[in-house]
A and B are shown apart, each in its own frame.
Chain A
Amino acid sequence: MNEYYSDMLFLDMKPFTLLHRLGVNGKQSGSLAAIQEIPHAVTVMYGPRGCGFHYRNTVRVRSGPVANLECAGLTDRDVIFGGERKLRRLLPEIDRTKKPEMIFILPTVVSDVINDDLYGIAQDMQAEVKAKLVIVKSQAFSHMDKTNSRKNIAERARQNCKQKFSGADYRGCGYVEVMNALVDQVMEPQAKDPLSINIESFIWGYGGTEKLKRMSGLLASMGIRVNAFLPAAGLEQIRQMPRAALNLVRRKKWAMAMEETFGTPYLHVADLYQWHGLDGMRELYETIGRMLGILPRVQAVLDEEEARIRPLLEESKQVLSGHRFCLITNSLSALPELIKCYEADDGVPLRHILLIPNPNFQRDFAVDSVMMERLYGRIREAMELYHCHADLTVDPSAEQMQKIIDDSEFLICGSHPRYAQFGKPVMPGFLDRVVFDYDSFAEVAAEFAARVRQQEPPGHLLLNRMEYDPVFYPLRTDDSNTWASREMYTRMWRLRKR
């Protein structure tokens, strides 16, 4: 089975995308996402029963309800007197009955207010339990602050198209809090293996496992060993993480902590699009090679791989070259990367670009007119840099859109079903296929080309009976209650001055 498509099927079948349009979950969902990757680990949710109940159904763990989640079941008595005695009773019991290697104690908003000394309790209890006790420390209350997304957009606006984005550090993200706890409480100093790296196994897109497996294969051909994937590692592997000479990371806060404590440098892959294509992959591996001091060896492998793969890519590009594509997107800030990926890397001749941004983009993300102009400037820069000759239309009228789509043969719209009604073949959103080995890159290109050869638009698509919003898919235009819930979140949180 192709992991990309199986991830799409199995992970997307639960309608959490819709819920994410209405708000976010508490940070514990991110913490559980990290801990679920760790074998033989149990989590104790240090909060009331409701937290221990509903967080089992968390978005980041889509395979099904979280199984290994215990709860302290704090009550009003614990709120007044502290819940310490419950934890002291629960930890040995879990240790005895579940026999985990690690027990994570996860704070909740209630325990953050009670402010029990969890570190002290863990220190006391460690002698009594075999499992390694790990206290996840709250870096923020409830959930991550909204300033992260604003910082991201501001950083993009400041950069030119070729600069690598390094993003916010996601303080208070539950996932990051667990990663920091692993650095602080589990990892131990090790003798360095100069040619080994750790790779963070988190949000590499659909088909992520296969991507990382193939990346490891390519690294091995360069003489670089993967010391561990984190957080998908057992206790012993996590202890030995500092053995690696480099961390390849998707979130940098924990990597910064590891650099400070163990002297392990890191390479931050913040935005996958920016490492897309032959040049993106080359830059990634060359950077790794440079940081490990084996650049010539890495370059030799890359040269060989590129030479092997180029004829295959040319064949695919040839198929695309005679056609007219229309790219439809909502993302003002990511459009430069999309232009690069499609036009320059994949050889998709873009005839039109339709940009349909969030009408409240400036309000929701605190973007002023100067920053807006910079974001549009980046788009113009990308078009010039990557020789994109498409007509860019922003927020088209229905009539304009019809005309533009009439002039196009294929639509690239991230599989947004709204555009199927135009009767043109819709190409699947291939950007999640950002891959990090040459064979995969050629395979994706060949698949894209095969779609162009074969695809006939469906004639009687059931989805055409529904009017999806152009920006906030899967919200429907006539679904006033859902829109109201979304707007409530915006007004109560996104627009809160703080």
Chain B
Amino acid sequence: MKPMSGCALIGAARALSGIRDGAVLQHSVVGCHWGSLAAGMLQQPDDFRQASTVVYEENVIQGGTELIPQGLDNITQLYPDAKVIFVISGCIPNMIGDDTESAVDRWQEEHPEHTVLYIPAPGYAGNENDGIERALLALLPLMAGHETAENEIKRETGSAADQNFVSKKLPTVNILGIMASDPYSINDLQYLRRLFAGKLEILCASHQCTTKEISRMGQADMNIVFGRGEKLAKIMWEQFGIPYLRCEYPYGIQGMRMFLQKLEECLSVDFSEEIRKMEKEADRVVRYSGMYLTTLYLLPAVVTGDRAHRPGMKRFLQDELGMDVTAGFDADAGDQDQLETELQHSNAVLLLGSSFEAELAERFSLPLVRYVYPVVDEVCLTRQTLLGAEGTAYLVQQIVNAVMRVRYKAEGIFRALRD
């Protein structure tokens, strides 16, 4: 198999990497630390809040729990502003029977001034999505009003509930399921905040937040779940009575319209002005891109990606560009060999996916648009979003440019006949 997504440890590390006043201690080997940083670093190039206990051969023989207090002593010293430390354990500690959880608990008892949360995530016992779900669930004790006693962020003075009281002037939501290492995700969040301004407040988006924002999650009116994080959302429904809304990532004009209309229905907000403005802007986009859109219309395409992003992209291509999405699947469910087989039997002329599909795209002479993690061969240094009218224009631009850059039949339309 050629996995198109990582393991539970990578998922957990990704899910927690957007907490700006947290730090992650991976209790695993160096490769896990490196691998999880490398796959996301182009999206977060200057924000390394992750370290490894560096499990090595002597730990396989003698056990590695002694690394936990060392690691926690050091990480709390070196990240003095971290209000929570997440310990994620990988394959080896689990295989050799280390009681990592007890080691974490012992350290925590001796250091009540710190908040440490433990997430077991051996890579052989779950895929990336499992790790993401587990890590998001681990945020629960940080939420004010949570039934356990860990609901305050211990470094802050006063009770978390008092300090983080949310004034309910506007309806409030949390966003779950997006990762900081997802391409464009931080820009997309900024776009949503601008779009919602004065109408809806995002209390916490787990991919770009602080512990203070997490502590307020339990006070939101609704959780928006993009493909992942549903386990947490369900528990929050049970514990806090917060309903959740499963949404496709709102690519395209219609995608965003549907998203906003769902929010209108659930939260009694009025986005008609925002939708009107977007529609107007969409007219301009279509005028500029009309001749390209006609080319794309009805052409077969393949879309791969994670469950947070792929359904929305597939809908956008089919519903708004009129393309024929013939193949592709959730990255956690399939592998690249399977995708290769699908491509062999597909008429697809365009592929949307990640950098990991680059070689396949090249082999099948398909233009590739990188829109989903991991993107390791393309950067975005601007505030470009993939959402709204501007994002739609940009997506179309990416597709058109990917096609135009191919030197198609450059040696003659009938070159193949000469051989």
Binding site for B on A (CB under 8 A): 14-16, 18-19, 22-29, 47-59, 64-65, 67, 69-76, 78-79, 90, 97, 109-110, 113-114, 140-143, 476, 479, 481-482, 484-485, 487-489, 491-493, 496, 498
Q: Which of A14, A22, A28, A75 interacts with B124 by CB under 8 Å?
A: A75
Residues of B within 8 A of A487 (CB): 74, 78
Residues of B within 8 A of A491 (CB): 70, 74
B38 touches A16 (CB 8 A): yes
Residues of A within 8 A of B356 (CB): 56-57, 65
Residue-by-residue, is B342-382 near A (CB-CB < 8 Å gives 1, otherwise 0)?
00000000000001101110000000000000101100000
B67 touches A23 (CB 8 A): no
Known: A19-B34, A492-B51, A492-B67. A50 touches B7 (CB 8 A): yes
Residues of B within 8 A of A109 (CB): 29, 31, 55, 91-92
- Complex: chain B residue closest to A94, CB-CB: B337
B35 touches A48 (CB 8 A): no
Give A496 to B47 CA distance when docked, in angstroms. Answer: 26
B53 touches A492 (CB 8 A): yes
Known: A65-B356, A71-B3, A491-B74. A54 touches B38 (CB 8 A): yes
B58 touches A50 (CB 8 A): no
Nearest chain A CB to B418 CB, angstrom units: 27
Residues of A within 8 A of B57 (CB): 140-142
A110 touches B48 (CB 8 A): no
A49 touches B41 (CB 8 A): no
A482 touches B48 (CB 8 A): yes
Instruction: From B2, B36, B358, name the one whose CB has the most chain A CB atoms within 10 angstroms.
Output: B2
A57 touches B374 (CB 8 A): yes
Give A420 to B42 CA distance when docked, in angstroms. Answer: 26
A22 touches B123 (CB 8 A): no
* Total chain B interface residues with beta-carbon distance under 8 A: 65
Residues of A within 8 A of B47 (CB): 481
A479 touches B46 (CB 8 A): yes
A73 touches B29 (CB 8 A): no
Residues of A within 8 A of B70 (CB): 491-492
A65 touches B358 (CB 8 A): yes
Residues of A within 8 A of B5 (CB): 49, 53
B35 touches A55 (CB 8 A): yes
B45 touches A15 (CB 8 A): yes
A498 touches B34 (CB 8 A): no
A23 touches B123 (CB 8 A): no
Known: A491-B74, A492-B74. A23 touches B2 (CB 8 A): no
B123 touches A50 (CB 8 A): yes
Question: For the complex, is B9 an interface residue (Cβ under 8 Å from A)?
Answer: yes
Q: Which of B3, B50, B71 interacts with A485 by CB under 8 Å?
A: B50
Known: A110-B92, A141-B60. A485 touches B34 (CB 8 A): no
A50 touches B6 (CB 8 A): yes
Known: A55-B35, A79-B124, A110-B91. A73 touches B1 (CB 8 A): yes
Give A240 to B127 CA distance when docked, in angstroms. Answer: 43
Q: Which of A54, A64, A67, A484 interacts with B35 by CB under 8 Å?
A: A54
- Complex: chain B residue closest to A172, CB-CB: B57
A485 touches B10 (CB 8 A): no
- Complex: chain A residue closest to B92, CB-CB: A109
Residues of B within 8 A of A48 (CB): 7, 91, 122-124
B29 touches A53 (CB 8 A): no
Known: A53-B10, A73-B1. A14 touches B34 (CB 8 A): no
A25 touches B31 (CB 8 A): yes
Give A24 to B37 CA distance when docked, in angstroms. Answer: 11
Q: Which of B6, B30, B42 interacts with A23 by CB under 8 Å?
A: B30
Give A18 to B377 CA distance when docked, in angstroms. Answer: 16
B53 touches A49 (CB 8 A): no
Nearest chain B CB to A42 CB, angstrom units: 11
Binding site for A on B (CB under 8 A): 1-10, 23, 29-39, 41-42, 45-58, 60, 67, 70-71, 74-75, 78-79, 91-92, 95-96, 122-125, 127-128, 337, 355-356, 358-360, 374, 376-377
B10 touches A25 (CB 8 A): no
- Complex: chain B residue closest to A90, CB-CB: B1
Give A109 to B9 CA distance when docked, in angstroms. Answer: 14
8 closest residue pairs by CB, A with B: A26-B31, A50-B7, A54-B35, A488-B51, A141-B57, A67-B359, A50-B123, A484-B78
A69 touches B6 (CB 8 A): no
Give A18 to B32 CA distance when docked, in angstroms. Answer: 17
B45 touches A57 (CB 8 A): no
Give A22 to B51 CA distance when docked, in angstroms. Answer: 8
Nearest chain A CB to B11 CB, angstrom units: 9
B3 touches A482 (CB 8 A): no
Nearest chain B CB to A325 CB, angstrom units: 33
Residues of B within 8 A of A76 (CB): 122, 124-125
Residues of B within 8 A of A28 (CB): 31
A481 touches B30 (CB 8 A): no
Residues of B within 8 A of A56 (CB): 356
B125 touches A49 (CB 8 A): no
In the complex, given contacts A23-B54, A67-B359, A481-B46, what are 10 additional A-B residue pairs having Cβ atoms less than 8 angstroms apart? A15-B41, A48-B7, A50-B128, A53-B10, A141-B56, A481-B48, A482-B48, A484-B79, A488-B78, A491-B74
Residues of A within 8 A of B33 (CB): 23
Nearest chain B CB to A253 CB, angstrom units: 18
Nearest chain B CB to A29 CB, angstrom units: 8
A49 touches B127 (CB 8 A): yes
Nearest chain B CB to A66 CB, angstrom units: 9
Nearest chain B CB to A55 CB, angstrom units: 7
- Complex: chain A residue closest to B53, CB-CB: A492
12 pairs across A/B with beta carbons < 8 Å? A19-B41, A24-B34, A25-B35, A50-B123, A54-B6, A55-B35, A57-B35, A73-B3, A109-B55, A110-B124, A143-B30, A489-B51
Nearest chain A CB to B98 CB, angstrom units: 12
Residues of A within 8 A of B67 (CB): 492
Give A110 to B94 CA distance when docked, in angstroms. Answer: 10
- Complex: chain B residue closest to A64, CB-CB: B358
